[in-house]
Amino acid sequence: MEELFRTVYPVEAADYTSAGQASADIKRKLKQLGVGGDVLRRVAVASYEVELNLVIHSMGGELVLTVYPEAVQLVSSDRGPGIPDLEMAMREGYSTANEEARSLGFGAGMGLPNMKRNADDFSIESELGKGTTITMRFNLPL
Amino acid sequence: MTILDFAGKIEARNLTPEVSLDKAVTCGYCCDLLSWVMAHGDEGMAWVTVQTHMNVIAVAVLAEMACVILPEGIVMEGDSLNKAVEEGMCVLSSPLTAYEICGRMAGMGIPAHN
pLDDT value at residue B39 = 82
Of the candidate ranges A121-130, B24-33, B38-47, the one whose mean pLDDT is the lowest: B38-47
pLDDT value at residue B28 = 98
Q: How far is B64 from chain A (nearest CA, A)?
A: 8
Residue B14 contacts residue B89 (beta carbons within 8 Å): no
- Whole-angstrom CA distances from A134 to A50, A63, A140, B30, B84 are 8, 9, 19, 30, 30
CB nearest to A41's CB, from B39, B64, B87: B64
A22 band by pLDDT with thresholds 50, 70 and 90: very high
A116 band by pLDDT with thresholds 50, 70 and 90: very high
Higher pLDDT, A2 or B71: B71
Average pLDDT of span A42-66: 96
What pTM does this model have? 0.87
Average pLDDT of span A16-38: 91
Asked if the Cβ–Cβ distance from B34 to A104 is below 8 Å, we say yes
Asked if the Cβ–Cβ distance from A114 to B34 is below 8 Å, we say no
pLDDT value at residue B29 = 98
A142 band by pLDDT with thresholds 50, 70 and 90: confident
- Chain B residue nearest residue A43, CA to CA: B62
Q: Which of residues 78-137 of A touch B (CB under 8 A)?
A: 104-111, 113-114, 117
pLDDT value at residue A55 = 96
Residue B68 contacts residue B89 (beta carbons within 8 Å): yes
pLDDT digits (tens, 9 = 90+) for A60-112: 999 999 999 999 999 999 999 999 999 999 999 999 999 999 988 898 898 99
pLDDT value at residue A108 = 87
What is this model's ipTM? 0.78
- Chain A residue nearest residue B87, CA to CA: A24
pLDDT digits (tens, 9 = 90+) for B93-114: 999 999 999 999 999 999 999 9
- A20 and chain B: CB distance < 8 Å anywhere? yes
Residue B12 contacts residue B73 (beta carbons within 8 Å): no
Query: Is residue B37 pLDDT above 80, yes or no?
Result: yes
Spell out the CATH class of A5-139. Answer: alpha beta
CB nearest to B34's CB, from A17, A23, A105: A105
Query: Is residue A18 pLDDT above 90, yes or no?
Result: no
Transcribe A92-134 into DSSP letters.
TT-----HHHHHTT--SS-HHHHHHHH-SEEEEEEETTTEEEE
Residue A26 contacts residue A34 (beta carbons within 8 Å): no
**B56 vs A contacts (CB less than 8 Å):** 105
pLDDT digits (tens, 9 = 90+) for B62-95: 889 999 999 999 999 999 999 999 999 999 999 9
Domains of chain B: 3-107 (3.40.1390.20)
Domain residue spans of chain A: 5-139
Q: Tell me the C-alpha distance between B15 and A83, whole Å.
A: 41
Q: How far is A40 from chain B (nearest CA, A)?
A: 9
Strand bridging mode A61-67 / A71-78? antiparallel
Query: Is residue B47 pLDDT above 80, yes or no?
Result: yes
Asked if the Cβ–Cβ distance from A114 to B87 is below 8 Å, we say no
